[in-house]
Amino acid sequence: MTITITAFERSPDGGKGLARDTRVRWALEEAGQPYEVRLVSFHAMKEPAHLALHPFGQIPTYEEGDLALFETGAIVFHIAEHHDGLMPDDATARARAISWMFAALNTVEPPILELVIVRLIEGDKPWHAERLPLVQDRIRSRLNQLSARLGDADWLDGAFSAGDLLMVSVLLRLRASGLLDEYPNLAAYVARGEARPAYKRAFEAQLAVNAAKPPAG
Ligand SMILES: N[C@@H](CCC(=O)N[C@@H](CS)C(=O)NCC(=O)O)C(=O)O
């Protein structure tokens, strides 16, 4: 059955791979599943046809036969459940990999998204200079803990899993801030993720869509 995902017609990041379709592309590449992409404009994302797939009018979505999914975590989980390459075979190791998926999205990503908001949306507020270091410290607190847990391991819990895929994807958002470089083992962890052939294919595919276009503003 053909898998179709949605992605930005013009990504605001201009193809840096930070839009969340990259996570889904990466999961599909790890799983060896071909897929098609339907590009949507910001306008089309808020129209009824797209809202029927995604109640919040966002990307990515995932369609496969009668199944339509939204939320990257759910999509990556679905791919990992149905194909090899993203989940350990052992049931308890699987459960732990799922914990890391939730940790990436629920515990590590929220303060990182706050930083994006501080930088992109709140830059002109009078309290911006006071808020920025507070948010940076909340991120550091999470990174300290994650760094301590990872130690000198390659991946979070044994072999590479969907938990690593989401954690690396979340941490990639920090690169421009320089915060990741304060944690050499996390920077190396992210670099290991980016070095995976499946990630490279996913990155190149989204770049091909965005490279020739000016970023959406
Ligand atoms: N929690 C959602 C977040 C989806 C999301 O924020 N998508 C962004 C692109 S990365 C988007 O569509 N932004 C445009 C908008 O919200 O209007 C997920 O993980 O899929």
Pocket of ligand 1 (CB under 6 A): 19-20, 45, 57-59, 71-72
Q: What is the pLDDT of residues 63-97, one digit of tens each?
A: 999 999 999 999 999 999 999 999 999 999 999 99
Burial class (CB in 10 A: 0-12, 13-18, 19+), 12: middle
Ligand 1 center–CA 71 separation, angstroms: 8
Residue 93 three-state SS: helix
Question: Which pTM value belongs to this model?
Answer: 0.96
At residue 80, what is the residue type?
A
State the closest ligand 1 atom to the C-alpha of 21, by its place in the atom list counted from 1: 10
Residue 90 CA to ligand 1 center (angstroms) comes to: 32
Using alpha carbons only, give the angle 91, 144, 17 rounded to the nearest 5 degrees.
70
Cα of 58 from ligand 1 centre, angstroms:
5
Residue 100: Cβ-neighbour burial (10 angstroms; 0-12, 13-18, 19+): buried
What distance lies between CA 52 and its chain's CA centroid? 23
CA of 106 to the centre of ligand 1 (A): 14
Residue from 38, 45, 51, 59 whose mutation best tests the ligand 1 pocket (most atoms within 8 A of CB): 59
pLDDT at 125: 87
Q: Which residues pair with 39 in a beta bridge?
A: 7
How far, in Å, from the CA of 91 to the mean position of ligand 1?
Answer: 31
Q: What is the pLDDT along the chain (217 residues), one digit of tens a residue?
A: 999 999 999 999 999 999 999 999 999 999 999 999 999 999 999 999 999 999 999 999 999 999 999 999 999 999 999 999 999 999 999 999 999 999 999 999 999 999 999 988 998 888 989 999 999 999 999 999 999 999 999 999 999 999 999 999 999 999 999 999 999 999 999 999 999 999 999 999 999 999 877 766 6
Q: Whose CA is nearest to atom 17 of ligand 1?
A: 58
Angle between helices 162-172 and 72-82 (to 10 degrees): 150
Q: Which of 58, 106, 210 most suits a substitution to test ligand 1, by most atoms within 8 Å of the C-beta?
A: 58
